[in-house]
Each structure stands twice: as structure tokens, then as C-alpha cells.
């Protein structure tokens, strides 16, 4: 028998040694694979534990909303690839997952909130933006990933903020999933040089070379930055003027670091965001003195026993706030009808021209989901129409259906008019009832932070209050549009915002609101 030959057994023994090595490395890879799955499972189990039963509060924090979407997209893509059995296929076939665009979109929304409400990156990253709607502290990798999204979008302003934050977190954590210091520094150096900080870029590049002396790109960048700095000294300091006038200055190694937000397509951005940050309208005492409250019944049977609580909020344009117009129970009925329709709705995206570059770029000028509700859908909706008619004295016969809009975190609607301009001839032709004469906007939720309705030209600021409604005329009695009605829905910082819009058209109002020949009356 050949197997009894000692020589042969010795030879076979080598096979066993090799087998042991192979199995060992197979096991190692397998353990690593299982370890990754287990770590991911721990993260999402923790998320479930935190959110379950209080989803509204949990997802009302933009950081939680972003991390959640991240788990179901990029993090899950990584796991999906290493789950061998049918689990991943079954999941993909039977469940709805968010898309990669949802992931980057939620990051962009987070950065928009940072800008609008002037939040420090560290406040956001350390879970300090709300005490009621808590979020945890982000890891260095999570900060780095946010920086990467900004970087990929060519947004060096936010790249700088988030890569700096990643670096700060890296110093405080010992973790085998941390990003490498060199990678962070590399992104930081590039983006800070793009913002015109060549001295800062040089300091960071030298730091890369200290850690990794053979880093090729850093080696050539060092020469490049030194050269730029030398030229700048020779030519006298000249600053790039592509930025807004108020710079963000940070000090580092005695270098002033500029990180200025680039201008975008919206000229009124600064005024708009300023109004969003305010607590109330910016009107002086003289204007304030003209405003008053009253009970309004218009001798209308609907209002005799329960007059509307009317508060004039603004003089120009005249805006009224009506308190307690819809009960909580009725609001729930409205939301229940709207919800399935909202789930099918898609987020709108628009393309606008950047005045600086003349380039068309995507602008998420309106981030909300909306659905239409007809009077026939529920007695609650029909009752709301009757209330509006009684309070405003306007005919609801030609009004549009009730539009329900739901804004999640970061959801907003940038400055716009509700009426159609002369150049938009066909805007509301399908209604056959003329232009949008007036707007009745009902708030169907409170909002913890942000989400105000602001009137940009004259400084109006309305804080959403569940059940209250605002009303204003978009057109003068002459039919001319009132440009002072330009308004916006500020981004929701914390919470969830629901509104119901009722647009009242010109036709049918001939005897209720008389025309005038004076274009401004
Ligand atoms: O949601 C808001 O506060 C304003 C909404 C609005 O202006 C609109 O839908 O036209
Ligand atoms: Fe509007």
C-alpha cells in the first residue's frame, strides 16, 4: 500500500500544513466578515431602540434623519455585498430602500440648516442642537463622510468645516474604523487652498509629509503652495472677490483662515435667512402700533356664536393671523387622508441659473411633499372651506383644492410669489378662474425650531402654531400683483411641519372685492 510508505506520508504532511494555513486565513476572513455584519447590526439595533415608539421625535432631529438614511444606503450597500445567502436579495425585492441621492440630499439639507441658522459644526456633530430631540455625537468617520459629500459636490466651504471636525474627533477616539489622518489632512489641504488659504494648505501639507514622508502628491503640492505664497508676497496681497462680504475667520498657527460661503442664485438669500433666524417680525414701533386684534363675525351665521380670533400681524402687505381655526381631531383626519397620497408624491427639484457663473445648476428651492384634498374627501375639508368663506367674505367656488404640504427636516420653500406674473400667461389657465387673488395658509403642526413663514420685502415672520392660519391678498384690487407678498417657508431645523394651502382665485369675487382702477390699491 502506498499510504504506508513513510516517504509518502511525509509528503502528505506538507498538504496538511498547507491546509491548516488556508483554513486559518479562511477563518480570519470569515470572522472579519461576521464582525462587520455584527457591528452594523449593533448600530442599527441601537438606532431602533432609540427611535421605536417615538419616531416623530427621533427623526425630527436632522442628524438622526441623516444617519438613518446613511444606514439604509451606503452602509447597507457594504453589508449587502458580504451577505451570501438570499437575505440581501429578499430584502432588496420586498422592501423599499432610500436611494443614494436621498443620502447625499439629507447631507446637503443638514448643511443648509447649518448655514441658515448659523450652527457651529461642532454643535451639530456633538448632538447639541436640541434638548428635546436628541442626537448622538458623530464619529470622526461620520464627520469625514459628510465632508466627502461636500467635497464631491465641489463645495469646499463645507468640506473645510467637516474635515476640520473629523480631525477634532479623531484626536479623541481610538477606533479601528476611524478614517486615516492623512486622508483627512489631504482633503483639508485641497479645500482650504481652494478657499484661498495657501499658507494653511502648506501647514497641512507639511503635516502630511511628517506622517507619510513618501506621500507623492503632498510632496509636489508643498512646492506648489510655496511657490504660490512666494508669488503672492511679490505681487502684494490680492483677495478673490467671489465671496460674500462677511468672512468666517478661524485662527490656526497664527494664520487667518478664510472660509467664505460662495454666492448662489438667490440675491435675497441673506435677508431671507436673517428673517428665518429671528423670533418675530422686524417692524418698528410706529408700524407695530397700527396692528391690533379683534373678534371677526362679519354678521355671518357661521361666525356669530364663534367669531374668528383675528390678529393683524403685518401692515404691508396686510396679513391676518387667525387663532384656533381647526381642532386637533380634525387635523388628524386631514393628515390621515393626506398620508397615503404624500407617500406616493415625489420631491420636486428645479434648475436655476446661477447669476455668477451663468450656469444652470440644480436648486432644491422647494423641498416638501404635497397632496391635494377635495371638499368631497371629508366633511372636515368642506367645513374648512366654509370657514374661510365666512371669514374672508370671498367666494370659494373657484378656489383650488386644499393643498397639504409636509416638510421634513431641512424641508423648505425658497422665496416666491403665489400669484402668476404677467410673463407667466398660462400659469393658472387650467382653473379658468384668473390669478391667485389670496392665500389662506393653515398650520397643521407646531414646529420645534425653524419652519417659519417669512415675508421678505417687509420683514414679516410667522411662527407655525398648530391650528392657526394666515391670510393675505396677493393682488391689489386692480388685479396687479403685490410684490411685497414675496414669501418663503424657512427650513425646518427640528421637527416636522404640516401646512394646508387654500388659494382663492379672482373669478367669482367681482361683488365681494370690487376692482379698482388705481394699480396700487
Ligand atoms: O409653508 C409655508 O410656510 C409657506 C408655504 C407657501 O408659501 C406655499 O406653499 O406657497
Ligand atoms: Fe407661497
Q: What are phi and psi of 6, to 5 degrees?
A: -60, -35
pLDDT band at 82 (very low <50, low <70, confident <90, very high): confident
Q: How far apart are the CA of 416 and the centre of ligand 2, in A?
A: 6
The per-residue DSSP string of 231-263 comes to: HHHHH-------B-SS--EEEETTEEEE-PPBP
Rounded distance between C-alpha atoms, residue 1 and residue 135, angstroms: 72
Give the per-residue pLDDT at 142. Answer: 97
Cell of 268: 435675497
Q: How far apart are the CA of 489 and the centre of ligand 1, in A?
A: 5
Lowest mean pLDDT among 90-99, 190-199, 266-275, 372-381: 90-99
Give the per-residue pLDDT at 256. Answer: 79
Place of cell 467664505: 260
- 508-517 contacts: CB < 8 A, separation 24 or more? 508/394, 508/395, 508/397, 508/398, 508/433, 509/394, 509/395, 509/437, 512/393, 512/394, 512/395, 513/393, 513/394, 513/437, 513/477, 514/477, 515/477, 515/478, 515/479, 516/476, 516/477, 516/478, 517/478
Q: In sequence order, what are the beta bridge partners of 258?
A: 249
Could you tell which of 313, 370, 405, 493 is best to mutate to test the pocket of ligand 1, judged by most ligand atoms within 8 Å of the CB?
405
Tell which residue, 400, 404, 376, 377, has the closest CA to residue 388: 400
Rounded distance between C-alpha atoms, residue 521 and residue 503, angstroms: 21
Tell which residue, 171, 163, 170, 166, has the closest CA to residue 197: 163
Give the per-residue pLDDT at 431. Answer: 76
Tell which residue, 255, 321, 249, 319, has the closest CA to residue 287: 319
pLDDT band at 366 (very low <50, low <70, confident <90, very high): confident
Rounded distance between C-alpha atoms, residue 128 and residue 135, angstroms: 8
489 Cβ inside 6 Å of ligand 1:
yes
Which CA distances in Å does 380 have to 336, 373, 402, 460, 500? 12, 11, 11, 30, 13
513 Cβ inside 6 Å of ligand 1:
no
pLDDT at 227 over 80: yes
Rounded distance between C-alpha atoms, residue 145 and residue 512, angstroms: 58
Q: How far apart are the CA of 154 and the centre of ligand 2, in A?
A: 31
pLDDT band at 521 (very low <50, low <70, confident <90, very high): low
Could you tell which of 441, 485, 493 is best to mutate to test the pocket of ligand 1, judged by most ligand atoms within 8 Å of the CB?
441
Give the per-residue pLDDT at 191. Answer: 96
The per-residue DSSP string of 406-429 comes to: EE-TT-EEEEE-SSPPTT-TTTTG
Tell which residue, 193, 275, 250, has the closest CA to residue 226: 193
Q: What is the mean pLDDT of residues 77-101?
A: 84
What is the per-residue pLDDT across 8-18, written as a single tens digit (0 to 9) for each? 888 889 999 99
> Percent of the chain having pLDDT more than 90?
71
What's the pTM?
Answer: 0.89
Which ligand is closest to the CA of 497, given by its number?
A: 1
Under a CB-based contact definition with an 8 Å cutoff, are residues 11 and 3 in contact?
A: no
What is the per-residue pLDDT across 107-156, written as a single tens digit (0 to 9) for each? 999 999 999 999 999 999 999 999 999 999 999 999 999 999 999 999 99
Q: What is the mean pLDDT of residues 422-451?
A: 90
412 Cβ inside 6 Å of ligand 1:
no
435 Cβ inside 6 Å of ligand 1:
no
Ligand 1 atom with the shortest distance to the CA of 501: 9
Q: How far apart are the CA of 253 and the centre of ligand 1, in A?
A: 47
Reduced to 3 states (helix: H, G, I; strand: E, B; else coil), residue 203 is helix
**Which of left, alpha, beta for 375 (phi over 0: left; psi -120 to 50: alpha)?**
alpha
Q: How far apart are the CA of 408 and the centre of ligand 1, in A?
A: 14
The per-residue DSSP string of 442-485 comes to: EE-S--SEE--EEETTTTEEE---TT-EEEEESB-TTS-B-GGG
Q: What is the mean pLDDT of residues 312-325?
A: 96
Rounded distance between C-alpha atoms, residue 90 and residue 86, angstroms: 6
Strand 492-494 vs strand 497-505: parallel, antiparallel, or unpaired? unpaired
Q: How far apart are the CA of 32 and the centre of ligand 1, in A?
A: 51
Under a CB-based contact definition with an 8 Å cutoff, are residues 322 and 309 in contact?
A: yes
501 Cβ inside 6 Å of ligand 1:
yes
What is the per-residue pLDDT across 437-451, written as a single tens digit (0 to 9) for each? 999 999 999 999 999
487 Cβ inside 6 Å of ligand 1:
yes
Q: What is the mean pLDDT of residues 47-63?
A: 96
Q: Which residues contact 238 (CB under 8 A, 6 or more apart)?
A: 232
The closest residue, in CA terms, to atom 7 on ligand 1 is 488
Under a CB-based contact definition with an 8 Å cutoff, are residues 225 and 198 in contact?
A: yes
The closest residue, in CA terms, to atom 1 on ligand 1 is 489
Our CA dihedral for 259, 260, 262, 263, rounded to 10 degrees, sits at: 170
Under a CB-based contact definition with an 8 Å cutoff, are residues 496 and 445 in contact?
A: yes
Decide if the complex's ipTM is over 0.90. Answer: yes
Rounded distance between C-alpha atoms, residue 456 and residue 276, angstroms: 10
Ligand 1 atom with the shortest distance to the CA of 488: 7
pLDDT band at 246 (very low <50, low <70, confident <90, very high): very low
Ligand 1 atom with the shortest distance to the CA of 418: 10
Give the per-residue pLDDT at 254. Answer: 66
The closest residue, in CA terms, to atom 9 on ligand 1 is 501
pLDDT at 290 over 70: yes
Give the per-residue pLDDT at 242. Answer: 46
What is the per-residue pLDDT across 177-206, written as a single tens digit (0 to 9) for each? 889 999 999 999 999 999 999 999 999 999
Give the DSSP letter of residue 54: -
413 Cβ inside 6 Å of ligand 1:
yes
Give the per-residue pLDDT at 435. Answer: 93
pLDDT band at 362 (very low <50, low <70, confident <90, very high): low
Cell of 163: 474635515
Task: Determine how many CB atoms are found less than 10 A away from the CB of residue 442.
Answer: 26
Domains along the sequence of the chain with CATH: 139-262 (1.25.40.10), 269-505 (2.60.120.620)
Under a CB-based contact definition with an 8 Å cutoff, are residues 190 and 163 in contact?
A: no
pLDDT at 1 over 60: no
Q: What is the mean pLDDT of residues 243-253?
A: 53
Q: What is the mean pLDDT of the chain?
A: 90
Lowest mean pLDDT among 78-87, 311-320, 462-471: 78-87
Ligand 1 atom with the shortest distance to the CA of 451: 3
pLDDT at 337 over 90: yes
Amino acid at each position: 500500500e502506498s499510504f504506508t510508505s513513510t516517504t509518502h506520508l511525509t509528503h502528505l504532511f506538507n498538504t496538511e500544513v498547507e491546509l491548516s494555513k488556508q483554513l486559518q486565513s479562511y477563518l480570519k476572513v470569515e470572522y472579519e466578515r461576521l464582525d462587520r455584519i455584527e457591528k452594523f447590526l449593533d448600530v442599527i439595533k441601537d438606532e431602533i431602540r432609540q427611535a421605536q415608539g417615538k419616531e416623530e421625535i427621533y427623526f425630527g432631529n436632522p442628524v438622526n434623519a441623516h444617519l438613518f438614511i446613511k444606514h439604509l444606503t451606503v452602509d447597507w450597500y457594504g453589508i449587502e455585498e458580504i451577505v451570501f445567502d438570499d437575505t440581501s436579495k429578499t430584502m432588496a425585492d420586498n422592501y423599499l430602500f432610500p436611494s443614494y441621492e436621498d443620502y447625499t440630499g439629507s447631507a446637503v439639507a443638514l448643511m443648509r440648516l447649518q448655514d441658515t441658522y448659523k450652527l457651529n459644526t461642532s454643535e451639530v456633530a456633538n448632538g447639541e442642537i436640541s434638548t428635546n430631540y436628541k442626537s448622538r455625537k458623530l464619529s470622526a468617520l461620520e464627520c469625514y463622510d459628510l465632508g466627502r459629500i461636500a467635497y464631491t459636490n465641489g463645495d469646499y466651504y463645507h468640506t473645510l468645516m467637516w474635515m476640520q471636525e473629523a480631525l477634532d474627533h479623531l484626536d479623541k477616539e481610538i477606533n479601528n474604523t476611524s478614517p486615516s489622518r492623512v486622508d483627512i489632512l489631504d482633503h483639508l489641504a485641497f479645500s482650504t487652498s481652494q478657499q484661498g488659504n495657501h499658507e494653511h494648505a502648506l501647514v497641512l501639507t507639511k503635516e502630511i509629509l511628517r506622517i507619510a514622508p513618501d506621500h507623492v502628491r503632498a510632496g509636489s503640492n508643498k512646492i506648489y503652495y510655496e511657490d504660490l505664497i512666494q508669488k503672492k508676497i511679490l505681487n502684494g496681497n490680492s483677495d478673490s472677490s467671489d465671496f460674500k462680504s462677511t468672512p468666517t475667520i478661524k485662527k490656526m498657527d497664527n494664520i487667518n483662515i478664510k472660509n467664505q460661503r460662495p454666492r448662489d442664485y438667490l440675491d435675497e438669500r441673506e435677508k431671507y435667512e436673517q428673517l428665518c433666524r429671528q423670533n418675530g417680525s422686524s417692524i418698528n414701533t410706529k408700524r407695530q402700533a397700527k396692528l391690533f386684534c379683534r373678534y371677526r363675525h362679519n354678521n355671518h351665521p357661521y361666525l356669530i356664536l364663534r367669531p374668528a380670533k383675528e390678529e393683524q400681524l403685518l401692515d404691508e402687505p396686510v396679513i391676518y393671523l387667525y387663532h384656533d381655526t381647526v381642532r386637533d381631531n380634525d387635523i388628524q383626519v386631514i393628515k390621515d387622508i393626506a398620508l397615503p397620497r404624500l407617500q406616493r408624491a415625489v420631491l420636486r427639484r428645479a434648475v436655476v441659473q446661477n447669476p455668477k457663473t451663468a450656469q444652470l445648476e440644480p436648486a432644491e428651492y422647494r423641498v416638501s411633499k404635497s397632496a391635494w384634498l377635495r371638499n368631497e374627501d371629508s366633511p372636515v375639508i368642506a367645513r374648512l372651506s366654509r370657514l374661510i368663506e365666512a371669514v374672508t367674505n370671498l367666494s370659494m367656488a373657484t378656489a383650488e383644492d386644499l393643498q397639504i404640504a409636509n416638510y421634513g427636516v431641512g424641508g423648505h420653500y425658497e422665496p416666491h410669489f403665489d400669484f402668476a406674473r404677467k410673463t407667466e400667461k398660462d400659469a393658472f389657465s387650467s382653473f379658468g378662474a384668473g390669478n391667485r387673488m389670496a392665500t389662506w395658509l393653515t398650520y397643521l403642526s407646531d414646529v420645534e425650531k425653524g419652519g417659519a413663514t417669512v415675508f421678505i420685502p417687509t420683514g414679516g415672520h410667522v411662527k407655525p402654531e398648530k391650528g392657526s392660519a394666515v391670510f393675505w391678498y396677493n393682488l391689489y384690487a386692480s388685479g396687479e400683483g403685490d410684490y411685497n407678498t414675496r414669501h418663503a417657508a424657512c427650513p425646518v431645523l427640528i421637527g416636522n411641519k404640516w401646512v394646508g394651502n387654500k388659494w382663492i382665485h379672482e373669478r367669482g369675487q367681482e361683488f365681494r372685492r370690487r376692482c379698482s382702477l388705481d394699480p396700487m390699491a
